[in-house]
């Protein structure tokens, strides 16, 4: 009787330990998820800020293409605008939301992925602003 009482206590102890440990693990994951989602939002805010430049860049490129096809300066400008536009399209084509990656990447890998995406979208932003400003 006494033995089974102690066994019961041990089992309850083990279950409580795992319960608490799981709970803290869930809390830890949720914190990570929130941080990752916030970083993704920062990335999207940068994208939303510069995306409206795309149509301006496309239209400027179209005007230049109608101007001259032989002028090397015009060609350089067209290439700069084209590269900036394509950089944004290419970036959008590959970016994935964190929720779609959680099954395939561990938390550390996802953090790294988002940091890399932040660097990439900042580069695209600079490229688009520069191309647009250079061709005012």
For other proteins, give the closer residue by CB, 2 or 66.
66
CB 58 within 8 A of CB 85: yes
Q: Report if residue 93 touches other proteins, rule: CB under 8 A.
A: yes
Q: Least distance to other proteins from the beta carbon of 39, Å? A: 14
In order of 6, 22, 25, the CA distances from 12 in angstroms are: 10, 15, 20
Q: Report if residue 97 touches other proteins, rule: CB under 8 A.
A: yes
For other proteins, give the closer residue by CB, 33 or 51.
51
Q: Report if residue 26 touches other proteins, rule: CB under 8 A.
A: no
For other proteins, give the closer residue by CB, 23 or 116.
116
Query: Residue 105, Cα to own-chain centre: how many angstroms?
Result: 14
CB 85 within 8 A of CB 54: yes
Q: Report if residue 129 touches other proteins, rule: CB under 8 A.
A: no
CB atoms within 10 A of CB 71: 12
Alpha helix locations (H) across 51-71?
53-67
Q: What is the 3-state secondary structure (H, E, C) of 36-55?
A: HHHHHHHHHHHHHHHCCHHH
Q: Per-residue string for binding with other proteins, 40-69, x by CB under 8 A?
A: ----x--xx--xxxxxx-xx--x-------
Q: Report if residue 79 touches other proteins, rule: CB under 8 A.
A: no
For other proteins, give the closer residue by CB, 24 or 59.
59
């Amino acid at each position: 009787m006494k033995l089974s009482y102690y066994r019961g206590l041990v089992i309850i102890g083990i279950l409580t330990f795992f319960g608490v440990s799981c709970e803290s693990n869930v809390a830890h994951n949720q914190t990570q998820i929130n941080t990752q989602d916030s970083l993704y939002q920062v990335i999207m805010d940068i994208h939303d800020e510069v995306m409206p430049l795309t149509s301006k860049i496309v239209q400027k490129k179209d005007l230049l293409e109608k101007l001259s096809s032989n002028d090397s300066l015009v060609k350089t400008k067209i290439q700069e605008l084209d590269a900036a536009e394509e950089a944004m399209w290419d970036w959008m084509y590959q970016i994935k939301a964190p929720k779609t990656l959680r099954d395939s990447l561990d938390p550390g890998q996802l953090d790294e992925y988002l940091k890399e995406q932040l660097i990439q979208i900042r580069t695209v932003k600079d490229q688009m602003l520069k191309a647009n400003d250079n061709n005012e």
